[in-house]
Amino acid sequence: MAKIRFIEHNGKQHEVDASNGMSVMNAAIDNLVPGIDADCGGECSCATCHVIVDEKWMKVVGQPSDQEESMLDMNPERDKNSRLSCQIKVRDELDGLVVRLPQFQI
């Protein structure tokens, strides 16, 4: 279990409880957090579940895989802490995770 905080681009915050094994993308969708489209349903192939991981959490969350990198790379809003939330699996160590949503999903 982990509590995850999503911060919308306008500053609005959403704290949700997520079970281990599910993706951070699903945690957002299941709790109706706006700003995540997830067009491909979690296949790491569209980049519409883009989040920007809080700097402090980058070490725990880790870096994107090659496939994820190739999708993120095309995004004009790409940040050094960008990740696709469908590729982050919830686990105990992520309790308290903070991610920011970009202004737009592409």
Q: Rule CB under 8 A: which residues touch other proteins?
A: 37-41, 43-48, 67, 70-71, 73-74, 76-77, 103-106
Distance in angstroms (rounded) separating the CA atoms of residues 45 and 43 = 5
Q: Between residues 13 and 67, which has the closer beta carbon with respect to other proteins?
A: 67
Name the minimum Å distance from CB 72 to other proteins: 11
22 close to 94: Cβ distance less than 8 angstroms? no
Alpha-carbon torsion, ordered 21, 26, 27, 33, to 10 deg: 170
Q: Which of 33, 32, 21, 42 is nearest to 85 (CA)?
A: 42
Name the minimum Å distance from CB 67 to other proteins: 7
Q: Between residues 17 and 39, which has the closer beta carbon with respect to other proteins?
A: 39
Name the minimum Å distance from CB 94 to other proteins: 26
